[in-house]
Homo-oligomer: A and B are copies of this chain.
Amino acid sequence: MTIRTIVWGENIHERVNEAVARIYPDGMHETIARALREDNTISAQTATLQEPEHGLSEARLAQCDVLLWWGHKDHGAVADAIVERVAKRVWEGMGLIVLHSGHFSKIFKRLMGSPCALSWREAGERERLWAVNPGHPIAAGLGPYFELENEEMYGEPFSVPEPLETVFISWFQGGEVFRSGATWRRGAGNIFYFRPGHETYPTYHDATVAKVLRNAVRWANNAKGAWPSVHDAPNVPVEKAIEKIEERGPRLHQHGQAGFR
């Protein structure tokens, strides 16, 4: 069964910066989508900041199994209502793959509950990603490490919650390290953060990066494990208790009244 993905791109630097436009003439989102389509069990559409509802209508998200997110220059322009809509879908079971500068996107910070800060340097230095969890599906088919000759540096500490599992750790030429691939679950939604992808370098044209993205889509897909009621706080009336009990003591709520939120 096809895994349906949407690649969301901020789509600004590709249009206003010449260096970026040369590398990604059709937009970064389109290059990423092409990388996913090399696996014929994955379908990939795109969405951008500039579209109505940023291309993420209720209807489209309802048909999306895994969302990929690349943003950098204008995180603040993403409407809060859309962020909440995406978060809701993640909790219900949609996978989410957050790329590079998306560490400061509203949606990632919303789901992590922490600052998601890091140090950085834009010097085109060498990055080497080590698979520290080679048995993890996201590292399938890779060697012990892979290199990107020119990348932006991101340095620890990365202020995210302790990951469920750490998959990649990067070595940088200038002396830093970074947890470059890490997973979390929120509700039924699998979340993967993948570090590489600075817009002035051809990272998303790299074959190994493309393979990691496809692995990540397959891992994040949770069609079977959806949890639509993740938001619900149902009252269980005394007379419907599974084990018979009798009501005792004072109470706040009238019968049939909803709880406070």
Contacts and interface: CB of A to CB of B under 8 A. Distances in A.
B115 A113 contact: no
B260 A119 contact: no
A6 to B, nearest CB: 20
Contacts of A236: 119-121, 153, 155, 174, 176
Main SS at interface, chain A: loop
B173 A117 contact: no
Given A130-B156, A150-B248, A186 B113 contact: yes
A158 B13 CA distance: 39
A60 interface: no
14 contacts: A111-B113, A117-B233, A119-B235, A123-B238, A123-B246, A125-B245, A131-B157, A132-B158, A134-B157, A135-B187, A162-B185, A169-B179, A171-B172, A200-B249
Interface stretch (A24-32, A37-45, A61-69, A220-228): A220-228
Kindly report how many copies of this chain are found in the complex they form together.
Answer: 4
A245 to B, nearest CB: 5
B159 A187 contact: yes
A75 B119 CA distance: 35
Contacts of A153: 236
A166 interface: yes
A231 B214 CA distance: 28
